[in-house]
Amino acid sequence: MIKFNFVSSPLFLFLILLISCNEEKVNDEKFLIAISKATPVEKYQTYISWLQRADSTIEWVDLYSLGLDSARLVIENCDGLLLTGGEDIYPGLYGKMIDTALCDEPNRYRDSLEYTALETALLNQIPVMGICRGMQMINVYFGGTLYFDLPVMIGEETRHRYPGYKPAFHEVNITDNANYLNGLEGKTDKVYSNHHQGVELLATSLQPEAFSPDSLIEAISYADTTGKPFLLGVQWHPEKMDHTIPLSDEVAKLFIRCAKRKDMSRK
């Protein structure tokens, strides 16, 4: 018989956190956000700080340290899901195995984890926010495809990343029919960009919320939001931008507000 050390497991530790958070919600209205990958913390601290600037009372849990079944349980009891940036998505997930040489080494576990996390969140009507890779995963999940390498496939009219994984800054234009980003564009519309892949074919159930000057899709949401939870993906990195820029912290506040509304609807 296989023995499982439940007391020392990440799931057990999460359940203790969950019980604590639920008790605190009664008095302090604290909220729990699941983050697809938040470790090592020193690397992903910008995401955590970005969320906590929007609401200093939130709690968060890292899904990457859990197995898929444990992650499902965690998400079912969270108020929101944040898909963070990172490695290229395995091209087999969107039917393009012809030239993997243009992709970075994939992280197959992370692909499976985030695919499962998205599925679980959507089934449970939990708000979802995707950043960079996170936006790309949303598109792939719904049946869209990605450009393998932007410089090779669409050129460098707009720089989305410089050699050596160095970031770039470029403008974005919010669409007139954007579900969530209308009204967030301020005096500056330049965003922090650090990616070499992007949305090629947008899934039919999604719509663009913003474009870069080279017509690359920079933000996505549901085409029809009726009866659906909050779902927003941005290709830029709002967590690494000046927090006074509307397309940075205002995006986090929007996500947290929707997570709070969802929490209230479950009471």
Q: What is the CATH number of the domain that holds 158?
A: 3.40.50.880
What is the structure's pLDDT at 185? 67
Where is average pLDDT lowest: 37-41, 234-238, 261-265? 261-265
Q: Averaged over 93-114, what is the pLDDT?
A: 85
The mean pLDDT of the chain is 86
Tell whether 160 is covered by a domain. yes
Query: Percent of the chain at pLDDT above 70?
Result: 84
Q: Beta 231-234 vs 217-222: how paired, if at all?
A: antiparallel
**pTM: predicted TM-score of the whole model, two decimal places:** 0.87
User: Which tokens go with 266?
Assistant: 């479950």
User: Which tokens go with 41?
Assistant: 């913390």
132, 185, 196, 200: the active-site residue: 132
DSSP class per residue in 30-77: --EEEES---SHHHHHHHHHHHHHH-TT-EEEESTTS-HHHHHHHHHT
- Residue 171 CB coordination number (10 Å): 15
Return all residues near 213 (Cβ < 8 A) that are at least 6 apart: 157, 158, 170, 171, 173
Residue 248 half-sphere exposure toward CB, CA atoms < 13 A: 20
pLDDT per residue as tens digits for the range 176-218: 999 999 888 654 468 999 999 999 999 999 999 999 999 999 9
78, 239, 250, 258: the active-site residue: 239
What is the structure's pLDDT at 9? 55
pLDDT beyond 90 at 30: no
Q: Do residues 220 and 232 lie in contact, with contact meaning Cβ atoms separated by under 8 Å?
A: yes
Task: Judge whether 209 counts as a catalytic residue.
Answer: no
Q: How many structural domains are present in the chain?
A: 1
CA distances for 195 relative to 132, 222, 249, angstroms: 7, 23, 20
DSSP annotation of 199? E
Tell whether 1 is covered by a domain. no
Q: Do residues 174 and 221 lie in contact, with contact meaning Cβ atoms separated by under 8 Å?
A: no
User: Which tokens go with 239?
Assistant: 């967590």
196, 237, 250, 258: the active-site residue: 237
Q: Give the Cα separation of 213 and 227 in Å (integer).
A: 33
pLDDT per residue as tens digits for the range 118-175: 999 999 999 999 999 999 999 999 999 999 899 988 998 899 999 888 999 999 999 9
In terms of residue numbers, what domain contains 99? 6-265
Task: Judge whether 237 counts as a catalytic residue.
Answer: yes
Task: Judge whether 250 counts as a catalytic residue.
Answer: no
H or E element, residue 81: strand 80-83
- Least Cα distance to 60 among 203, 259, 261 occurs for 259
Tell whether 38 is covered by a domain. yes
